[in-house]
Chain A
Amino acid sequence: MTELAGTRKSGGKLDMQSEPVILNIGPSHPATHATLRFVAELDGETILTLTPEFGYLHRCFEKESENATWTQVIPYTDRLNYVSALMNNVGYVMAVEKLCGIEVTERCKYIRVLICELSRIIDHMVCIGTNMVDLGALTNFWYFWKPREEVYMHLIEPLTGTRLTNQYTRIGGLQWDLPEGWVEKCRDICRNVVLPAIADVNALLTKNRIFIERTMGAGPITAREAIARGFTGPCLRAAGVPFDLRKDQTYLVYDRFDFDVPIGGNGDTCDRYMVRMEEMRQSVRIIEQALDRLPGGPVNIDDTRYILPDKQLVYTNIEALMQHFKFIMEGIKVPAGEVYSATEAANGELGYYIVSKGGGGPYKIKVRPPCFPLFQGMPHLCEGQMIADLVAVLGSVNIIAGELDR
């Protein structure tokens, strides 16, 4: 089938005057970074047709959630986009809170903004870093890996107790408050680790002729096409559409911060890189503003229907003990209904569509992963280009198999 399609597309005139070669890329290939597969039909090095295939990392997230309580789903969400797990946590609990009609505390909102923006920075770092590995510039990868590790080691680990899969948020609040000294450390890392790293990579790449020639014009997409294909996030903004849920459908306290939404012009790999670089700087801006204005007070709402009772009370008070038992065994009670809640994750719009029948767990969860439309768009981005562009484009649209396959 693919062979016929490719030959037809080339109008029977192939560069090499022979039949096209079918090349299998993945599921285990250095450029796929995760388990994806492409079947490319090549004329020489030019891609005639590209067939993306996924499902190698399918873990039944949506089905498994149906057998878990609302709180037990939180660790599952970590595994969606495992590069920025905290953002998935925030997205999920916000959807559940929307269903319950919970308004979380001010401090909780600020902390959620902080962890989201930190996650966005490290996600972009991984994306750009691995993209550069594919282009043969391994050094930039390490320049971004180190600050990412600093963020994990000095901010996320002390905060959540875990490194990669954090499960930090709770319905109605957070697992616990910020540890002592975290605010100063966060400020220090943003200013002395993250920004210098961005400047280093910028110096190595942005004016590098080889890099610009490799990325400019690789995998371009028009704004119209990008919207039609459901692109969101940096890939859509690189195509010139200033769409950012943080601004356009503001949530948490994003409307209180002063930040810009960078956009590109051609939607090619270079623009995607530039947009991500600028977004990291804007995230630092948001973090600094949030740290300046971080309010005091509790991180959890004062509502015994959603928040676990204090441990001391559980030990001393029978009502609290019973409530603790019910929460753990049956889960919190979420009213029946349907809700769609979307947040601007690092890769784009991360949406949770949740159906509740009123039980202790979800009836159905459907995730709208930002990667999925991007992955579907890969043939459009890559056909007619060279095999070397495929890896450049694949890195720059940042496909995370965890959220693609769920």
Chain B
Amino acid sequence: MSPLFDLAVAVARIAVFISFCLGLVVILTWVERKGAAYIQDRRGPNRARILGLTLGGIFHPLADAIKFLFKEDFIPDGAHRLFYQMAPMFALAPAIMTMAVIPFGPPVTIAGHQIPLQIADLNVGILYLFAISGMTVYGVVLAGWASNSKYPLLGGLRSSAQMLSYEVSMGLSVVGILMVFQSVQLSEIARGQGELLFGILPKWGVFVQPLGFILFLTALYAEANRTPFDLPEGESELVAGYHTEYGSFKFSMFMMAEYIHMVVGSAVLVTLFFGGWQFPYLADAGFAFPGGVSFAVPAWAVLSLRIGSFVVKTVFFCWVYVWVRWTIPRFRYDQVMRLGWKVMLPLALINIFVTGLVLLLIDKGI
């Protein structure tokens, strides 16, 4: 229609999705603590109260934010002032930027316009994702180097090695998906997963690429520096790793970056391997089950079911991050490297080879 309409739509999409992700980040910090508490047989945060309400400690993130804002903004002596201050921004900015290409719902038609529910439907989708998320390592390395302290330095060294190693496996583990769905565009991949496999299973990435899923999941944890790969900040050895020397809001920017990584990582995982916004057996017109049973569902309900399914799946995988963190111990540095290069990389290559072979055979009709 008019450029103004396009602009309004774009802004609305950005606002909705970013507030969804950042809101989830805030809730996730609470879920992390509360989940940890219940896994560990204790109560968890329940003291912050507003108007006499505690609501299970949900106000703690708010209290945290206020605390971080009002702490002294401290720069240690001998730190490289510019890089030291840039590092948290380098950590946070790419994490937020990766959100742009994730489709959170099917395209909708408003006033004759087809509008993809996605901030930017880039045709290089997944490449953009890897390019941007690869930049997060700069934040960590800069923080490690600029702090002028040995613990951050070791943390920075560890994480640069780890993130670079796992980026390789991560990229290769997704190649299988790209081959199956014949696209690097995330919206195309999400749409492709709406079909049925053998007429029974939804054609989700996890069913066509089980090995790819496991490899991607593992690499995702390593990329987000989460347990069992949280060596860069392995608190017992390196005090707090690369952000040892950071305080106040700079520290909270690192924390936010980590949680945004979790949210975006879960969203990407869901998009690639769990059908994205696809609801099982839900087509545009309504449910169509394998046995031939089908019933119609109104369009608005289809849309909300699909968006809802994306949200639920993303939240579930965010929870898995928390669950894993409080269940298993962390690796040692050399073990992480061994796993990355000697196990995951060959497996990812085998996965690509087998996928290619199977696709070729299917293509030839054998």
> Taking beta carbons and an 8 Å cutoff, which residues of A are in contact with B?
21, 23-24, 29-31, 44-45, 132-139, 141-143, 146, 204-205, 208, 210-211, 213-214, 386-391
B331 to A, closest residue via Cβ: A210
> Which A residues lie within 8 Å of B36 (CB)?
138-139
Can you name 15 A-B residue pairings with CB atoms under 8 Å? A24-B150, A45-B158, A45-B333, A45-B334, A133-B236, A135-B236, A135-B329, A136-B228, A139-B39, A139-B40, A142-B42, A210-B329, A214-B329, A387-B154, A390-B237
B326 interface residue (CB < 8 Å to A):
yes
Please indicate the chain A residues that have their CB under 8 angstroms from the CB of B230 in the complex: 136
Does B77 sit at the interface, judged by CB under 8 A?
no
Residues of chain A within 8 A of B327, CB atoms compared: 137, 139, 204
List chain B residues, Cβ under 8 A from A30: 235-236, 239
Q: A21-B150, A29-B239 are in contact. Are A136 and B326 (CB under 8 A)?
A: no
Determine if B328 and A31 form an interchain contact, defined as CB atoms under 8 angstroms apart. Answer: no
User: A214, B331: Cβ atoms under 8 Å?
Assistant: yes
CB of A136 within 8 A of CB of B335, answer: no
Q: Which residues of B are found within 8 Å of A204, using beta-carbon distances?
A: 327
**Complexed CA–CA distance, A205 and B328 (Å):** 8
A14 to B180, CA, bound (A): 47
- Chain B residues within an 8 Å CB radius of A45: 154, 158, 333-334
Cα of A214 to Cα of B326 in the assembled complex, Å: 17
Kindly state the separation between the CA atoms of A387 and B333 in the bound complex, as whole angstroms: 9
Q: Are B332 and A386 in contact (CB under 8 A)?
A: yes
Least CB distance, A136 to chain B, in whole angstroms: 3
Query: Which of A133, A136, A137, A386 has most chain B Cβ within 10 Å?
Result: A136
Q: How far is the CA of A205 from the CA of B327 in the complex (A)?
A: 9
Q: Residue B363 at the A interface, CB < 8 A?
A: no
The interface residues of chain B lying within 8 Å CB-to-CB of A143 are 40-41
- The residues of A that contact B332 with a CB separation of less than 8 Å are 213-214, 386, 388-389
What 8 pairs between A and B have smallest CB-CB spacing? A136-B330, A142-B40, A137-B329, A134-B236, A135-B329, A31-B236, A388-B332, A136-B329
Contact A208 B154 (CB under 8 A): no
CB-CB < 8 A to A390: which residues of B? 237
A30-B235, A388-B237 as given contacts; A139 in contact with B333, CB under 8 Å: no
Nearest Cβ on chain B to A193's Cβ, whole angstroms: 12
Give complex CA distance A214, B235 in Å.
Answer: 16
Q: Does B227 contact A (CB under 8 A)?
A: yes
Q: Which of A135, A146, A213 has the most CB of B within 10 A?
A: A135
| Least distance between A323 CB and chain B CB atoms (Å) | 50
Q: Are B328 and A23 in contact (CB under 8 A)?
A: no
Is there an interface contact between B41 and A146, defined as CB atoms closer than 8 Å? yes
| A142 close to B41 (CB less than 8 A) | yes
Interfacial chain A residues near B239, Cβ < 8 Å: 29-30
The residue on A at minimum CB distance from B231 is A388
Closest to A388 in B: B332
Given contacts A21-B150, A142-B41, 6 further A-B contacts (CB under 8 A): A139-B327, A143-B40, A146-B41, A214-B329, A214-B335, A389-B332
CA gap between A23 and B150 in the complex, in Å? 7
Nearest chain A CB to B158 CB, angstrom units: 8
CB nearest to B338 among chain A residues: A213
